[in-house]
Amino acid sequence: RNERHVMYSVHYFVISGPNGAHFGGSVETESLRAPPKKDLRLASLTRSLHMDAPDGMSFKSAAGRVSITSLKDVTIKSMNGKV
């Protein structure tokens, strides 16, 4: 038993509340979705937001646009391929 570690093993897990969920460390999951007709928002209010994947990342919008907004420069870099 480790009092600093809590594990949930369920097929479907919902966190609901007016301000969403706040995590002090990293989050690892196969799927992260917003409820129907709601936006999914990933935010770091004081630091950076990092997403890492060893086999690739895909961003898809089936019915709308994709936009990137930045206070400073936006950089897209390919280590071994085309942009």
* pLDDT single digits (tens) 36-71: 888 888 888 888 888 888 888 888 888 888 888 999
User: Does the predicted model carry a pTM greater than 0.85?
Assistant: no
Q: Quickly state the pLDDT bin for 73 (edges 50, 70, 90).
A: very high
Question: Would you put residue 29 in left (φ > 0), alpha (ψ -120 to 50) or beta?
Answer: beta
